Amino acid sequence: MYNVTLISTKHADSGLCNSVELHKIIEKICPEVIFLEADDKTYSKYDQLRFSQYGVYSEKLEISAIQRYSENHNFEYIPVENHNNIPDSFIKSDLRTVFETVENLNDINGHNYRVLSDKNCEYVRMYGFQYCNNSKAMGITSEIADAVQKGLQTINNEKLSKIYKNWLDINEYREDAMLLNIYNYSKQKKYNQAVFLLGYAHRKSIIEKIKKYEPTENFKLNWTFYNDK
């Protein structure tokens, strides 16, 4: 009872990381509940209605995989994001400026952001979910984050540093909210198998949060981290 498998994914098809392969993984687990890193603004009620339209698949990787699963299974679809407290002033184009600025640095104390990012994208395309769901991906995403931090220290631009800090704070809030929503749902409804589809960039952080959260939470979930090696 209350078995939840974390599956680290990507929001758009890339080589072996695609909706067909994700559907195969979901099919093997056969969940009664699918928790998704989304809210009704990004993965809307319209997307849910399309679950019943055989062969008409969304361009969104996770939704397309869920649509395929819905052709032969009944399940509860639960978007667990909460964007209510994310400031309207946060502009994603500003965040792109941060990454583009860091990318233009040739080398950051041995941590080349561009090389790491290219390697990360190549591994996603070549190995798909086997890569997204193992320690190598967590290691490279940590190196990328470290390269961004070192790049910002080198640039010493207060505005860019503040934008990136705000982004990190927003992700902390989002992850905490998603976990809370999963536990709150589980306290209200019984199920045996569930999956939690979450972008692989969050994998290391969310696993650390789960391991800290579980000992202090009276209501226990049986977490499995898909393909954790």
Inter-residue contact 133 to 171 (CB < 8 Å):
no
pLDDT category at 1 given cuts 50, 70, 90 is confident
Mean pLDDT of the chain: 86
Q: Are 130 and 229 in contact (CB under 8 A)?
A: no
Who has greater pLDDT, 217 or 209? Answer: 209
Q: Which residues pair with 196 in a beta bridge?
A: 6, 35
pLDDT of residue 108: 52
Pick from 110-114, 118-122, 205-209: least confident: 110-114
Confirm if 20 and 68 have CB atoms less than 8 A apart: yes
What is the 3-class SS of 6-24, one letter each residue?
EEEECCCCECCECHHHHHH
Look at residue 112 and tell me whether its pLDDT is greater than 90: no
Q: What is the dihedral of CA 177, 180, 185, 186, to 10 degrees?
A: 150
On whether the 3-85+178-225 domain is CATH 1.10.10, my answer is no
Classify residue 112 by its DSSP letter.
-
CB 147 within 8 A of CB 116: yes
Contact 51/66 with Cβ under 8 angstroms? Answer: yes
Phi, psi of 135 (to 5 degrees): -70, -25
Q: What percent of the chain has pLDDT over 90?
A: 60
Q: How confident is the model at residue 81 (pLDDT cuts 50, 70, 90)?
A: confident
Domain ranges in the chain are 3-85+178-225, 92-168
The pLDDT confidence band at residue 94, using thresholds 50, 70 and 90, is confident
- Cα–Cα distances in Å, from 116 out to 110, 125, 153, 169? 11, 14, 18, 23
User: pLDDT digits over 43-59, tens only?
Assistant: 555 565 555 555 555 67
Please report the pLDDT score of residue 224 as a whole number. 95
Could you tell me the pLDDT band of residue 90, with boundaries at 50, 70 and 90? low
**pLDDT score at 192:** 97
Q: pLDDT-based confidence at 227, cuts 50/70/90?
A: confident
How far apart CA 100 and CA 113 sit, in angstroms, is 10
228 pLDDT band (50/70/90 cuts)? low
